[in-house]
């Protein structure tokens, strides 16, 4: 079985760590995951060998680099990179943020959008995307 | 030239003198001798000539002086006549019986050529006097005595007459008498006062017919009052009014707590100092009823006496409007403030829910990881349950927005009630209130679910308060829905005893509250009312034997695409 290479980033380090642990624990795929608390760090690792990376799981609102910019750069390097966006803002009722972020995230056409707290089946969804490549 | 009498006298004197000289010469011719005859006659002739010359010179001198005196007299006469005629007042000269002289202005005003023209047609100027109703004036005969005798009898009285001039215009004059100015002759002076009279009359008319209440005040006593003011204070008699003192028409206190009499005195002082003083103040009618009045005091000085002219305007209506506007503005600004506070709370809630999501999400994920290692741990299950409960509560709060959303969305009534009851559950349990929920349709509403939830929560919360206050043992809140073709009905009732009939129509008014200050602001139900109204719905309230019934009527959304 091909080992899936996944990079994940959240400006809240514990969050990225948990995402890594969850995927490692529950994914049916064999995964090699690296977690970052800075999208710039993730980008520099990604740049070294874009083709080897299967998926990037990223937060959206990050101070160093916003999710949209990160995804744009990733796609420049590898157009078919699988993207999962995680955001706490997604089902927020605060209309301003909700509408803006929701629209922005949707416009990016990621492979999967997850809101925090994660839905129970999110790992299955993630697995499907990963599996689709095989 | 010269006086003919003097001339006659002079001639006689000269003839006499000449005859005397002739007789003297005759006597000399008869009795004197030849020698002395010639000498004497020559002497007489010389004396005669000399005396004649002297007389001639004297007479000439006398004539000259007389002529000069005459000229001077004529000139004086002319000047006097000119002065007489230049007078603006009519001056007539009378002897005991009739008019003997008048100045030009008299002839000019009444179209007579001269005194003869007048006396040919009239015997007395009093024939020109006219009578006027309602005014005191001189007539040709006053109480049986002639007008001139009447003036003579009452010299200190002000006498006035009316006459019609050659153009038919009525003129008024004040009349003065100067008696015995010359040889039993008297002078009557008619000074025209038409203009002053007209002004006075205009003023009187203005005063009497003004739409404003007017009065004159001197030394804080009423001098005069117009009918409008009498009407305002509901006094039927002017004379009665004039005996009143201003304090009677003032309530003891003004609404701001100031003693009315102090205010009145301050105004008087201000008016005396600055000439005017204006205020809106409460006045009192004779019936005791108070009303708002716009008072303007103006100081006028008449014959060096200060009179205060006071204008009253009944502004009760405007004042009422002003107060209700003020009240409205105040209520609106309070409502705005309350709303902005709620919006602030909403924003805070928003932030809290966002901040809590991250750690809650982490905990749930970590619990999941731990479950792999301890699949049968009861403690982990509890942590998981409790965290899920927290997450759910947060989600409910989150939907319970305090923002007013411009974007209306379609939501189901069921979702709304579920969210609201989740929040209310704690209160219900605490106060042992049973909630009977019966929703048997999937009705959809267009609006902002957060705002709508808030409206429902207010109703639940009020029901709770009523139940607690009423010490009802078996506390129940009933929530049910009904529907018709067009509408959805949400009915929330309780058994808290209901709303007293005398206030039931007021409960949706902002700031109407029966609760103590620390418990309620009176904003809740009015906000519910507004929210339902904004959702194009209606809210009605009635009582039944158990308690209050609130019925919310909302238009049904048939197709979600309708938005």
Q: What is the rounded distance in angstroms from the CA atom of residue B483 to the CA atom of residue B150?
A: 101
What's the pLDDT at B28?
A: 79
B392 Cβ under 8 Å from any chain A Cβ = no
Do residue A95 and residue B405 have CB atoms under 8 angstroms apart? yes
Taken in order B545, B452, B359, A35, is the CA torsion positive or negative?
A: positive
Do residue A117 and residue B407 have CB atoms under 8 angstroms apart? no
* Residue whose entry in the numeric block shows the structure tokens 């008016």: B271
Interface test with B, best of A27, A59, A93 (most B CBs within 10 A): A93
Which residue of A15, A22, A95 is in closest CB contact with B358? A15
Q: What is the rounded distance in angstroms from the CA atom of residue B47 to the CA atom of residue B51?
A: 6
Closest residue in chain A to residue B451, using alpha carbons only: A93
Q: What is the rounded distance in angstroms from the CA atom of residue B444 to the CA atom of residue B410?
A: 6
Question: A69: helix, coil or strand?
Answer: helix
Q: What is the rounded distance in angstroms from the CA atom of residue B300 to the CA atom of residue B216?
A: 10
Say if residue B3 is exposed, middle or buried (CB neighbours under 10 Å; 0-12, 13-18, 19+): middle
Q: What is the rounded distance in angstroms from the CA atom of residue B243 to the CA atom of residue B226?
A: 14
Say if residue B148 is exposed, middle or buried (CB neighbours under 10 Å; 0-12, 13-18, 19+): buried
Between residues A74 and B28, which one has the greater pLDDT?
A74
Closest residue in chain B to residue A89, using alpha carbons only: B354
Q: What is the rounded distance in angstroms from the CA atom of residue B73 to the CA atom of residue B64?
A: 14
91-110 of A, contacting B, C-beta below 8 A: 91-95, 99
Q: What is residue B482's DSSP assignment? A: E
Question: Tokens representing B59?
Answer: 């007479």
Which residue of B353, B354, B365 is in closest CB contact with A18? B365
What's the pLDDT at A122?
A: 84
Q: Distance, in angstroms, between A41 CA and closest chain B CA?
A: 22
pTM: 0.43
Residues of B in contact with A12 (CB under 8 A): 358
* Residue whose entry in the numeric block shows the structure tokens 């290692």: B373
B65 Cβ under 8 Å from any chain A Cβ = no
A3 Cβ under 8 Å from any chain B Cβ = no
Q: Give A93's pLDDT tier (boundaries 50, 70, 90).
A: very low
What's the pLDDT at A90?
A: 58
Do residue A118 and residue B364 have CB atoms under 8 angstroms apart? yes
Residues of A in contact with B364 (CB under 8 A): 117-118
131-160 of B, contacting A, C-beta below 8 A: none
pLDDT in tens, chain B (563 residues): 445 555 666 677 778 877 888 888 888 778 777 777 778 778 888 888 888 888 888 888 988 999 999 999 999 999 988 998 888 899 998 887 788 889 999 999 999 998 899 988 888 888 889 988 877 888 888 888 889 889 888 888 889 999 999 999 989 999 999 887 777 888 999 999 989 888 988 988 999 999 999 999 988 889 899 999 999 999 888 898 988 888 889 999 998 889 999 999 999 999 999 999 999 999 999 888 999 999 999 999 878 888 999 999 989 888 888 888 888 888 777 777 766 666 666 667 777 777 788 888 888 888 888 988 888 888 898 898 888 878 777 766 666 555 545 557 788 888 888 888 888 887 888 888 888 888 877 778 877 777 788 888 888 888 888 888 877 778 889 998 888 888 888 999 988 888 888 888 777 776 666 654 444 555 678 778 888 887 788 989 888 888 889 999 988 876 555 44
Question: Tokens representing B484?
Answer: 């018709």
Which residue of A15, A91, A99 is in closest CB contact with B362? A15
B304 Cβ under 8 Å from any chain A Cβ = no
Question: Tokens representing B381?
Answer: 């299950």
Which residue of A22, A88, A92 is in closest CB contact with B358? A88
Backbone phi, then psi, for B334, in 5-degree steps? -70, -40
Question: B71: helix, coil or strand?
Answer: helix
End-to-end, the C-alpha distance of chain B in Å comes to 129
Do residue A22 and residue B368 have CB atoms under 8 angstroms apart? yes
Q: Distance, in angstroms, between A94 CA and closest chain B CA?
A: 7
What's the pLDDT at B394?
A: 74
Q: Distance, in angstroms, between A75 CA and closest chain B CA?
A: 28
Taken in order B321, B323, B326, B332, is the CA torsion positive or negative?
A: negative
What is the rounded radius of gyration, in angstroms, for the C-alpha atoms of chain A? 14
β-pairing, B409-412 vs B444-447, is antiparallel
Please, are residues B166 and B187 in contact by the beta-carbon 8 Å criterion? no
Does the interface predicted TM-score (ipTM) exceed 0.85?
no
B81 Cβ under 8 Å from any chain A Cβ = no
């Amino acid at each position: 079985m091909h080992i899936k290479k996944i990079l994940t980033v959240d400006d809240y380090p514990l969050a990225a760590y948990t995402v890594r642990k969850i995927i490692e624990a529950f994914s049916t795929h064999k995964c090699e995951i690296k977690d970052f608390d800075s999208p710039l760090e993730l980008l520099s690792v990604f740049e070294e060998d874009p083709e080897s990376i299967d998926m990037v799981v990223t937060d959206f609102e990050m101070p160093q680099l916003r999710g949209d910019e990160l995804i744009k750069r990733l796609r420049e390097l590898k157009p078919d990179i699988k993207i999962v966006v995680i955001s706490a803002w997604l089902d927020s009722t605060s209309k301003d943020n909700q509408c803006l972020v929701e629209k922005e995230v949707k416009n990016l056409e990621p492979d999967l959008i997850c809101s925090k707290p994660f839905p129970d089946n999110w790992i299955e969804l993630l697995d499907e995307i990963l599996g689709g490549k095989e | 030239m010269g006086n003919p009498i003097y001339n006659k006298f002079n001639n006689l004197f000269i003839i006499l003198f000449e005859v005397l000289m002739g007789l003297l010469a005759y006597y000399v011719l008869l009795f004197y001798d030849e020698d002395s005859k010639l000498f004497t006659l020559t002497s007489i002739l010389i004396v005669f000539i000399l005396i004649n010359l002297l007389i001639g010179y004297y007479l000439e001198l006398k004539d000259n002086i007389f002529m000069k005196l005459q000229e001077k007299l004529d000139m004086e006469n002319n000047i006097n006549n000119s002065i007489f005629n230049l007078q603006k007042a009519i001056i007539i000269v009378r002897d005991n019986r009739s008019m003997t002289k008048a100045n030009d202005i008299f002839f000019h005003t009444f179209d007579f050529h001269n005194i003869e023209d007048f006396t040919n047609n009239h015997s007395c100027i009093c024939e020109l006097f006219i009578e006027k109703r309602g005014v005191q004036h001189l007539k040709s005969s006053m109480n049986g005595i002639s007008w001139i005798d009447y003036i003579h009898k009452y010299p200190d009285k002000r006498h006035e007459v009316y006459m019609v001039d050659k153009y038919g215009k009525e003129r008024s004059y004040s009349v003065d008498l100067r008696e015995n100015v010359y040889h039993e002759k008297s002078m009557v002076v008619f000074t025209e006062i038409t203009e002053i009279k007209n002004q006075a009359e205009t003023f009187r008319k203005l005063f009497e017919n003004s739409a404003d209440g007017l009065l004159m005040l001197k030394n804080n006593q009423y001098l005069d009052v117009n009918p409008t003011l009498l009407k305002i204070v509901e006094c039927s008699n002017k004379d009665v009014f004039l005996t009143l003192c201003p304090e009677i028409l003032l309530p003891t206190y003004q609404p701001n707590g100031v003693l009315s009499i102090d205010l009145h005195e301050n105004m008087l002082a201000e008016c005396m100092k600055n000439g005017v003083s204006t205020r809106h103040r409460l006045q009192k009618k004779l019936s005791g009823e108070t009303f708002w009045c716009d008072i303007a005091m103006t100081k006028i000085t008449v014959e060096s006496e200060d009179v205060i002219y006071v204008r009253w305007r009944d502004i009760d209506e405007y004042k009422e409007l002003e107060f209700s506007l003020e009240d409205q503005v105040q209520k609106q600004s309070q409502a705005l403030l309350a709303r902005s506070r709620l919006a602030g709370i909403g924003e805070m809630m928003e932030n809290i829910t966002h901040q809590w999501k991250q750690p809650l999400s982490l905990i749930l994920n970590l619990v999941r990881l731990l479950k792999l290692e301890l699949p049968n741990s009861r403690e982990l299950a509890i942590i998981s349950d409790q965290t899920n409960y927290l997450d759910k509560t947060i989600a409910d709060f989150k939907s319970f927005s305090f923002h007013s959303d411009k974007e209306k969305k379609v939501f189901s009534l069921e979702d709304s009630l579920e969210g609201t009851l989740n929040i209310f559950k704690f209160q219900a349990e605490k106060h042992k209130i049973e909630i009977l929920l019966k929703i048997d349709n999937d009705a959809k509403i267009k609006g902002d679910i957060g705002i709508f939830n808030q409206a429902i929560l207010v109703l639940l919360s009020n029901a709770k308060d009523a139940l607690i206050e009423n010490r009802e043992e078996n506390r129940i809140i009933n929530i049910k829905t009904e529907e018709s073709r067009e509408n959805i009905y949400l009915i929330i009732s309780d058994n808290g005893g209901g709303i007293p009939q005398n206030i039931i129509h007021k409960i949706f008014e902002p700031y109407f509250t029966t609760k103590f200050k620390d418990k309620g602001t009176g904003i809740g139900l009015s906000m519910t009312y507004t929210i339902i109204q904004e959702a194009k719905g209606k809210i009605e309230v009635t009582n039944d034997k158990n308690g209050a019934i609130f019925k919310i009527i909302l238009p049904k959304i048939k197709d979600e695409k309708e938005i």
